[in-house]
Structure 1
Amino acid sequence: MDTSDDERLILLFILKKRKQRRKKKRSIWCREHFVLRATCGEYIRTFRSLLDNRDEALFFNYTRMTYDTYKELLALVLPLLQPVGAIGGNPLQAKKS
């Protein structure tokens, strides 16, 4: 065997291992903390309270932007946000505030 044959064998071995790895069944489709995000996530617990309280200093300290800047940024990206369903859960909806 010359060097090119050895390289081909190694390449075939690597490709075969990759195919075997892809065929493995998943034991968990969605981790528990992702399932709980609708009730216990960062957005629900912290960020929504910042939006509701409208404490400008606290909002700026948390987001590093003013509330008005946040509203402008939200207006720019909101049309581009599309909820995408996933296996095992529902997507969070963007809140127009």
Structure 2
Amino acid sequence: MEFHQKIYELVRRIPYGKVSSYGQLAVLAGRPGAARAVGHAMRVCRDPSIPCHRVVHQDGSTTSSFDAIERHTQQRLLEAEGVLFSSDHKVIMSQFQWRPEIS
């Protein structure tokens, strides 16, 4: 399966109100260390059924890719799902990071 498709399938599994990091998705896809490739997959995704806004940096920071029209767009999308942020605009990863069941 193509790497991007595998990533998109994983991102579709991230529940409402949870986030994953680029690195976490790379590991889940069997490609540890490929966080940048995951970022590329998110940047080129044009499928609105894939909740790309649920993918953040390892430290919980959001990406400016969503900010073409307005700053903190990704943060607002996540807050609408109940995700909380620290005062420095980072997702509180200890509470909101997706923990998929190992199968």
TM value normalised by structure 2: 0.25
Q: TM-score, with normalisation over the residues of structure 1? A: 0.26
| CA radius of gyration, larger in | 1
Structure having greater relative contact order (Cα 8 Å, sep ≥ 6): 2
